[in-house]
C-alpha cells in the first residue's frame, strides 16, 4: 500500500507540473483564435451596415470592448478495482491507481455600442481634406481615395446624390471618372506630387513636374478641372467661394456618405426590387441604371446569394440571403480595407470619448 501511495503522489506531481507549463501554450493557442474572431466580427459588421443602407435601414455599430478569460485546471486521483483472470486461476480483484487532469476556460466578453454625439458628428461631418489627402500619402492610390471620398472638385461632380439613399435618377459622374483615370496615369508616371506647402505648413498643394507640363494627359487633366495651363502648382481648398483656375476646391463626403456611396454597389434579390423594398435608379433613356458603370461599382462590389458562399472574403446573412465580397475580387477587398481604416480613423477616437453602457456576457463552459 505504501508503494501505491508513492505512485499516486508521483503522478499528482507530474500533473501539477503539467498545469504550470500550460500558460505559454494557452497564449499561443488562444491569442490567434481571438484575434481572427474579433477581426471577422468587425468586417462582418461593416459589410452588414453597408447592406442595411441599401435597404434604407439605420446602421448600428457594436464593438468588442474587452475580452477576459479565466482558465481553471485540476486533477482527480483515486483507486479503481478491477476483476482479472490469470491463466488457470480463479478470478481475483486488483486495485489500480487512477489520475485525471482537466482544464476549462471561461471567457467574458464586453460589447459597447458605438454611439454618442461625438460619434454622430464624425459620422455626418465631411471628412477633413487633410485626412482625405493623408490617406494617399499612406500608400493608397489617389484614384481610389478621390473616387470614394470626394464628392466634387471645382465644377466636376462625383455623383453627389449618391452620398445618401439610392437616388431615383442617375447621378453625374462621367467627367469626374475621366479625371481620376487621368490622375492615376499621372501618379503612376510620377508626374505629380501632393504635399504640404513648404512656405505655409497649413496649406496642401499639388505640384506638376515642370518637364511634364506639356504632356497630353496633363493638359487634359487641367482642362477637365478648368485649371490654368500656365501654372503647375495648385492649392487645395474646401471653400467654393474661392473656386477658380488657380486652385483645387474639394468637397468631401462624410463617413456616412462614403458608406451610402458603397451601398449602391450591393446586389439585391430580384424579389426585393419587384416588391419595392429597394430603390432602383433610372438612366436618361428610362432603363435601369447599372451602378457597376459608376466608380463605386468598379472599385467595390457586393454579391448576393441564397446559399452560403464558399469563396467569400467576408460575408453576412441578412433578410434571408447571403451578401458577400468575393475573395478573388481584389479591387473590392482593397476598397473595403480602405473604408475600414477610414472608419477607424474617423470614428474610433470620437467613440472612445463617449460614455455608453457596456454589455458584458460571461460565456459558460
Pairing verdict, β 321-326 and 303-305: antiparallel
Distances (CA, A) of 57 to 90, 263, 277, 278, 289: 80, 11, 11, 11, 22
The pLDDT tens digits of the residues spanning 94-138 come to 556 665 556 656 667 777 777 777 778 888 899 999 889 888 878
Would you say residue 255 lies in a domain?
yes
Distances (CA, A) of 282 to 158, 261, 289, 291, 322: 17, 16, 5, 10, 26
Give the C-alpha separation, 275 to 284, whole Å.
23
Would you say residue 53 lies in a domain?
no
Would you say residue 291 lies in a domain?
yes
> What is residue 365's three-state secondary structure?
coil
Give the C-alpha separation, 350 to 123, whole Å.
9
Per-residue confidence (pLDDT) for residue 355, from 0 to 100: 47
Per-residue confidence (pLDDT) for residue 78, from 0 to 100: 57
The pLDDT tens digits of the residues spanning 322-333 come to 999 999 999 999
pLDDT above 70: percentage of residues in the chain: 73
Would you say residue 174 lies in a domain?
yes
Number of domains in the chain: 1
Would you say residue 69 lies in a domain?
no
The pTM is what?
A: 0.77
Q: Could you tell me the residue range of the domain that residue 284 belongs to?
A: 126-362
Q: Between vectors from CA 73 to CA 71 and to CA 75, what angle results, nearest 5°?
A: 170
Would you say residue 20 lies in a domain?
no
Would you say residue 17 lies in a domain?
no
> What is residue 23's three-state secondary structure?
helix
Would you say residue 99 lies in a domain?
no
Amino acid at each position: 500500500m505504501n508503494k501505491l501511495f508513492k505512485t499516486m503522489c508521483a503522478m499528482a506531481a507530474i500533473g501539477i507540473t503539467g498545469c504550470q507549463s500550460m500558460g505559454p501554450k494557452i497564449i499561443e493557442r488562444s491569442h490567434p483564435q481571438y484575434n481572427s474572431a474579433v477581426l471577422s466580427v468587425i468586417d462582418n459588421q461593416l459589410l452588414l451596415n453597408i447592406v442595411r443602407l441599401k435597404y434604407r435601414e439605420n446602421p448600428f455599430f457594436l464593438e468588442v470592448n474587452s475580452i477576459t478569460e479565466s482558465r481553471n485546471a485540476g486533477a482527480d486521483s483515486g483507486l479503481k478495482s478491477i476483476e482479472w483472470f490469470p491463466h488457470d486461476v480463479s478470478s481475483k480483484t486488483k486495485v489500480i491507481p487512477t489520475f485525471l487532469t482537466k482544464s476549462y476556460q471561461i471567457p467574458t466578453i464586453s460589447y459597447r455600442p458605438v454611439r454618442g454625439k461625438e460619434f454622430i458628428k464624425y459620422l455626418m461631418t465631411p471628412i477633413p481634406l487633410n485626412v482625405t489627402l493623408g490617406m494617399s500619402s499612406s500608400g493608397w492610390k489617389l484614384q481610389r481615395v478621390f473616387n470614394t471620398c470626394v464628392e466634387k472638385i471645382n465644377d466636376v461632380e462625383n455623383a453627389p446624390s449618391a452620398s445618401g439613399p439610392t437616388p431615383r435618377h442617375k447621378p453625374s459622374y462621367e467627367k469626374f471618372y475621366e479625371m481620376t483615370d487621368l490622375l492615376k496615369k499621372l501618379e503612376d508616371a510620377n508626374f505629380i506630387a501632393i504635399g504640404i506647402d513648404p512656405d505655409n505648413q497649413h496649406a496642401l498643394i499639388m505640384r506638376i513636374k515642370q518637364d511634364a507640363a506639356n504632356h497630353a494627359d496633363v493638359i487634359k487633366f487641367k482642362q477637365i478641372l478648368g485649371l490654368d495651363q500656365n501654372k503647375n502648382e495648385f492649392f487645395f481648398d474646401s471653400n467654393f467661394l474661392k473656386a477658380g483656375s488657380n486652385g483645387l476646391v474639394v468637397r468631401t463626403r462624410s463617413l456616412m456618405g462614403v458608406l451610402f456611396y458603397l451601398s449602391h454597389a450591393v446586389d439585391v434579390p430580384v424579389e426585393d426590387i419587384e416588391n419595392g423594398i429597394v430603390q432602383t435608379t433610372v438612366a436618361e433613356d428610362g432603363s435601369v441604371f447599372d451602378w457597376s458603370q459608376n466608380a463605386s461599382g468598379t472599385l467595390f462590389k457586393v454579391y448576393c446569394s441564397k446559399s452560403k458562399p464558399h469563396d467569400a472574403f467576408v460575408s453576412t446573412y441578412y433578410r434571408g440571403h447571403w451578401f458577400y465580397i468575393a475573395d478573388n475580387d481584389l479591387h473590392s477587398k482593397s476598397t473595403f480595407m480602405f473604408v475600414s481604416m477610414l472608419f477607424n480613423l474617423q470614428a474610433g477616437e470620437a467613440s472612445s470619448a463617449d460614455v455608453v453602457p457596456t454589455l458584458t456576457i460571461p460565456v459558460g463552459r
